[in-house]
Amino acid sequence: MNAPIQFHKPRRSTDAEHGIVHRDDAAFCGWPFYCGLWTFPDGSLLTGFKKIAKTYDEAAEISHTRLTVGQGQLKTIRSSDGGKSWDQDSLNTVFDLGTSAEEIDRTGGDNYDDEPPLDFLDPNVIVMSGAMPALLKPDSRAWLRISADAGRNWRRTILLPLHGLGSLTGHGPPTIRGDGVALLGMSTTTPDGWTNRPLIYASTDGARWNFLSFVTPAIEGGSAVSDRTELPLFGAIRHLYARPLALADGRILASLRFQRDARGIFWTDVFESRDGGRTWHFLSRVNDWGAPGDIVEMADGRIVCVYGYRLAPYGIRARVSEDGGRSWGSELILRDDGGSWDLGYPRVVEVAPGRLLTVYYMNTRDDPIQLNGGVRHIARTLFTPD
């Protein structure tokens, strides 16, 4: 039998350095998790986020029921000093969320057959994905764009084929398997909007993307069913946001968000594939609460999961696994100065041996502009997972 887990009180990071990536007092900026964070051979970094022009005069303006459908733009921004500062002049629009799926289908198609093939093992090749008219809807259609030069130029937007699925949502870049195959985490949503099923699409050269596997069973045994007093956006909509990660030992992990209530009662599960993403099984639950969780394998072999913590005190937290994701250490508090639950969705990378950078969206309780928390902006933390 496995030994019981030993629990210890959450501890505060001793060297966390916080900073702002992008803030606009007349905008809601959020959700880097489903945009991306990349490091490049030239030493630069790039991150993506959603930006929506909004005032902070009334709560309806920043309601997620309005923010998540057909509004705003997906932006990227660059850093040349390891994530300490971010060049505001580099701000670039990659996708306009007011674009319709019909328009993409008409002008972009569903493949890049007319473009040169790409080598996904080239770290300058990156991918962004999303969905129209919104993520995780019964009528969602996934879109995708690729850059071959570290996000400076992008190929046209294409729609991914449904391959018999009723809907398809993309939410972030892929991981790259050892043979150069890109594994893209996605979700499909049932016609009633209440159940998601995470899945994987794959591509060998970027030209075409095809269904590879489901991550979870069709019916998760024992999982709770919502009483449906909420909109699906906030209710118990099961697993979503597959974030695959190829490990040095050949295994593929995928972090998943399991949701009971989007304002705090959700957690991060980890599933494992030992055959390159073809089949999956449950491996571990990272935490009590906090999702979506982004995962990174450090050079020393440890795996770190960073996630937004939407219960008071609100903030950003992390846990470390020293056994390949099978178990997780005590909780590391990176910050707990949030003004409300409306924060999180991090991405994390290792920027120097033992030193991590996480980018997320944040609001703070001491912000002079308050509307259910401070201005929603993109923030960063550099830290050592001790």
| Within a domain: 6 | no
Confidence of residue 222 (pLDDT cuts 50, 70, 90): very low
| Within a domain: 64 | yes
What CATH number is given to the structural domain containing 239?
Answer: 2.120.10.10
Q: How far does the chain reach from its first CA to its final CA, in angstroms?
A: 29
Mean pLDDT to the nearest integer, 189-193: 89
- Check residue 226 and give its pLDDT: 54
pLDDT at position 181 over 70: yes
Cβ atoms of 294 and 347 closer than 8 Å: yes
Confidence of residue 2 (pLDDT cuts 50, 70, 90): low
C-beta atoms surrounding 166 within 10 Å: 12
| Within a domain: 103 | yes
Residue, of 362 and 226, whose pLDDT is higher: 362
Beta bridge partners of 267: 258
pLDDT tens, residue by residue, 321-377: 999 999 999 999 999 999 999 999 999 999 999 999 999 999 999 999 999 999 999
pLDDT at position 55 over 60: yes
| Within a domain: 359 | yes
Mean pLDDT of the chain: 94
pLDDT tens, residue by residue, 256-279: 999 888 888 999 999 999 999 999
Q: What is the pTM of this model?
A: 0.95
CA distance linking residue 385 with residue 106, whole number of Å: 47
Mean pLDDT to the nearest integer, 170-183: 97
Residue, of 218 and 30, whose pLDDT is higher: 30
Phi, psi of 203 (to 5 degrees): -145, 145
Beta-carbon contacts of residue 80 (< 8 Å; ≥ 6 apart): 43, 44, 45, 87
Count of domains forming the chain: 1
pLDDT at position 220 over 70: no
- Check residue 297 and give its pLDDT: 98
Phi, psi of 119 (to 5 degrees): -105, 110
131-152 burial, b at 16+ Cβ within 10 Å, e below that, comes to bbbbbbbeebbbbbbbbbebbe
Tokens 């319709």 identify what position?
Answer: 100
pLDDT tens, residue by residue, 142-151: 999 999 999 9
Range of the domain at 48: 11-332+342-383
Task: For residue 178, give the DSSP letter.
Answer: T
| Within a domain: 5 | no
- For residue 201, give the H/E element and its range: strand 196-203
Query: How far apart, in Å, are the Cα atoms of 81 and each of 87, 186, 260?
Result: 10, 32, 39
Q: Which two tokens stand for residue 25?
A: 């007092």
C-beta atoms surrounding 60 within 10 Å: 8
**Rounded percentage of the chain residues whose pLDDT exceeds 70:** 96
